[in-house]
Chains A and B, each alone.
Chain A
């Protein structure tokens, strides 16, 4: 499980529409908005890094979004057990 805090910036006039559009995305929740500057803090939850990156691309693709970058990441995973020799090395 990965949880990310993302800063999104939109033109101030469009902050309400952007908030609705963001909340409609799967795994995305708007937590804080700053109407004067158009800044929005969203939290995104994803099973995998892949989903996380794809979801960030979806946010960037929303109409009016000028900036969307990750600020904060929490990793809630157990580290792997490492092999003596990685599988694809054993063959070489």
Chain B
């Protein structure tokens, strides 16, 4: 670049940066900014990465992204970006981008043992359909599956859900979001009867306190963390607390750092509840008016298989705990049992872990009574080098903050809570603390579940791409919800399958045990991100399974696939995301996808053209189906009633489900496009606006039902930067359940109006004592949940904890961020962070290459003792972005039995020098 042009460009960038953050500049400088940008087309978009949902502006020229900037008008980030924001413009242009379909072939034909070769889209879809029909004919709707994503666009997730549930009559569709925030979802439903947070990010600017629980916000949610730091600088009373299992970057910005042992968060929250009661700080008026108390079974297992048939030999001792558990001394105390006795408990409620019943306040009080300062401090202290007294003082300080009636409290959490064998419990418990205090649903008082993916909320949760869900918080196993969905989708009665399908870990297990043999993966990398990977890699490659992976880059999942479909990425297609504060944001297609790459939506619709109604809407065997109104183990033939509705057996699923008369009414081109292209519409060869039609069809589920979205076009207005649902009469809802802000509150000032599970039997801490059900509309539940030890803890052989997580520079499995080659060279490999003394004790030092071994596998990595994560003695940490280190070969695939989310935070390992 010429020097003069470069200097000019730099002046322009400086001026534009100043303008973006509101620093006044001279008129000359603003002219420079304008001239720099004069040939570029700017449009608004959303960051592709974490769940914060920062607004960015994108500049394009000649079909390429030339610049991006933080959107000064975006209320989430106000012009700032973190370093991941930088990648939005770069991730499209990696050297190894996939640009044409690739299939394993030998001599011009599909061969599972063959090598990848380029094929046409027709060849790809033809083979995919042959293999689909083979699996479907042999095994029925449960023999096929889809692994989707919290990065799916709203329209993509919606189309795939409709294709799977209405078309294929299979509930085996589950997003990677299962392993990100399913525990948060389960707790929202159990506590409030409706998903997603009452509050929003603005709570940061109204609060006096932020407590991060198992959330390294400084690395994983830097822009929100920046808002926390700004508040701390500008508000003298502000306190920030980091509750964590290791010292991390978030500790640096905190007033109080509390290092705890794994899983003891459940005990710590009970200590807080006990303190609130003993200090007489229960907000009695709030609790009486708006809450009930609940308990549930504690013998719920750990979400593992109930058989060790497929376990490696070394896994069998831990796997046996799925059947029967001998309580630890601390667990016995926490359950109010005699710790001197041996308590061996059959895990009888493993399949009914979400069961719960009403109890009284006195029962709750009895439940938390054992959680004294002495008991909890001994149990929870995570840093052996900290004195017990110092740790106790910190717990008291924490209780002082929560219990102070004048102090506003925000609790943030992410994977430390969610990826937890008692993830649903610990989510419920934080609500219990906030509800006891009445610190919820008003500015500055907010228990808030942060998310890790850009549309974990918008797509995975709101669209309902989980194996048990339908749109707008409805579920497949409630007849009324199926009826509503069948009517909206114009399906014959009993088309939908009432039996929940396989969650993501179970899809992997199904591939291993042969109950499923065809899987389509979109917008994620499950063969890297699902724990206990050695099993699933072998199932993919060595069993007679057909794996289709839609991806932009050669991820691990693409490499183990039989067929790879190249995809269009974020700004190469029209789409929408929903962030963690219920904010829905839509964008236009900015640049064309390269080569033959096409949107996931186009792929879904094209594939649906290859299956006819006669093939799917006939009798279907569903093993284990026992729902009322169905013959046992069967879905009925619905073709006769379908024909009465005007469907024909030879119609394709594309015609029946997608190209409906209602959808065709949305014409393309549309003025909202303002000259932007739409490659999905172009390659489908249609004249209807697919993304708009599907968005409006989907939005119909939520409008009038607490989930109202604005009309499609509104999100594209120049003055709109996303809207927080419910959007009623054109107005968004910043705080839910509060009459001042939420038009759905009809009774009183606060109403927890979510409708799910608001009628229960009554009992005590050990079980129900009545059969009569009580209704409690408008109320939230305060759960008692006891401390539970992790399923696997270090012992004499595997003597170190391993926790996995994220880094600022790399995102998740690194499929996109590792593509920036210079960055990959700078941070090529994940390291194992460990305590210097633990290393010394094993004769190791930093930068040594070691074997890390668990019951499930072993990997090689370099150890680090002076990194930005500083584990206490006995604890280690590794990020999961790096496929060459592949930490998920080590991790246990135990889950929270309620949410089915894996616990990536607690595996026992040993390490030794290579």
A interface residues with partner B (beta carbon < 8 Å): 1, 3-7, 29, 31-32, 34, 39, 41-43, 45, 48-54, 56, 66-67, 69-77, 79-80, 82-90, 92
Q: How far is the CA of A76 from the CA of B16 in the complex (A)?
A: 17
Residues of A within 8 Å of B16, CB to CB, are: 5, 72
Task: Tell me whether A5 and B17 are in contact in the complex, defined as CB-CB below 8 angstroms, given that A82-B595, A87-B96, A88-B96 are known contacts.
Answer: yes
Q: Within the complex, what minimum Cβ distance (angstroms) separates A47 from chain B?
A: 8
Task: Tell me whether A67 and B229 are in contact in the complex, defined as CB-CB below 8 angstroms, given that A82-B97, A85-B116 are known contacts.
Answer: yes
Q: In the complex, are the beta carbons of A1 and B81 less than 8 A apart?
A: no
Set A49, A51, A69, A75: member contacting B80, Cβ < 8 A = A69
Residues of A within 8 Å of B21, CB to CB, are: 7, 39, 41, 71
Q: In the complex, are the beta carbons of A32 and B18 less than 8 A apart?
A: yes
Residues of B within 8 Å of A45, CB to CB, are: 6, 10
8 A-B residue pairings within 8 Å (CB atoms) = A5-B18, A7-B79, A73-B89, A74-B66, A85-B116, A86-B553, A88-B554, A89-B116
Set B9, B24, B69, B93: member contacting A71, Cβ < 8 A = B69
Residues of B within 8 Å of A48, CB to CB, are: 822
- The digit string for B350-391, where 1 denotes a CB below 8 A from any CB of A, is 000000000000000000000000000000000000000000
Q: Looking across the interface, which residue of chain B has its beta carbon closest to that of A82?
A: B99
Q: In the complex, are the beta carbons of A41 and B23 less than 8 A apart?
A: yes
Q: How far is the CA of A3 from the CA of B468 in the complex (A)?
A: 47
Residues of A within 8 Å of B29, CB to CB, are: 32
Q: In the complex, are the beta carbons of B64 and A3 less than 8 A apart?
A: no
Q: Within the complex, what minimum Cβ distance (angstroms) separates B886 from chain A?
A: 15
- The digit string for B102-113, where 1 denotes a CB below 8 A from any CB of A, is 100000000000
Q: In the complex, are the beta carbons of B20 and A71 less than 8 A apart?
A: yes
Residues of B within 8 Å of A72, CB to CB, are: 13, 16-17, 20, 67-70
Residues of A within 8 Å of B11, CB to CB, are: 31
Residues of A within 8 Å of B18, CB to CB, are: 5, 31-32, 41
Residues of A within 8 Å of B594, CB to CB, are: 79, 82
Set B83, B89, B222, B233: member contacting A53, Cβ < 8 A = B83
B98 at the interface (CB under 8 A from A): yes
Set B98, B226, B553: member contacting A67, Cβ < 8 A = B226
Residues of A within 8 Å of B82, CB to CB, are: 69-70
Q: In the complex, are the beta carbons of B23 and A49 less than 8 A apart?
A: no
Residues of A within 8 Å of B6, CB to CB, are: 1, 3, 45
Closest 6 interchain pairs by CB?
Answer: A5-B17, A31-B14, A86-B96, A50-B822, A48-B822, A72-B69
B1 at the interface (CB under 8 A from A): yes
Q: How far is the CA of A71 from the CA of B499 in the complex (A)?
A: 48
B845 at the interface (CB under 8 A from A): no
Q: Within the complex, what minimum Cβ distance (angstroms) separates A36 from chain B?
A: 10
B739 at the interface (CB under 8 A from A): no
Q: In the complex, are the beta carbons of B559 and A89 less than 8 A apart?
A: yes
Q: Within the complex, what minimum Cβ distance (angstroms) separates A14 from chain B?
A: 14
Q: In the complex, are the beta carbons of B83 and A74 less than 8 A apart?
A: no
Task: Tell me whether A92 and B96 are in contact in the complex, defined as CB-CB below 8 angstroms, given that A34-B23, A53-B826, A72-B69 are known contacts.
Answer: no
Q: How far is the CA of A72 from the CA of B116 in the complex (A)?
A: 40
Residues of B within 8 Å of A83, CB to CB, are: 95-96
Residues of B within 8 Å of A43, CB to CB, are: 10, 13-14, 17
Residues of B within 8 Å of A31, CB to CB, are: 10-11, 14-15, 17-18
Q: In the complex, are the beta carbons of A5 and B13 less than 8 A apart?
A: yes
B90 at the interface (CB under 8 A from A): yes
Q: Within the complex, what minimum Cβ distance (angstroms) separates A52 from chain B?
A: 7
Q: Within the complex, what minimum Cβ distance (angstroms) separates B4 from chain A?
A: 14
Residues of B within 8 Å of A88, CB to CB, are: 96, 554
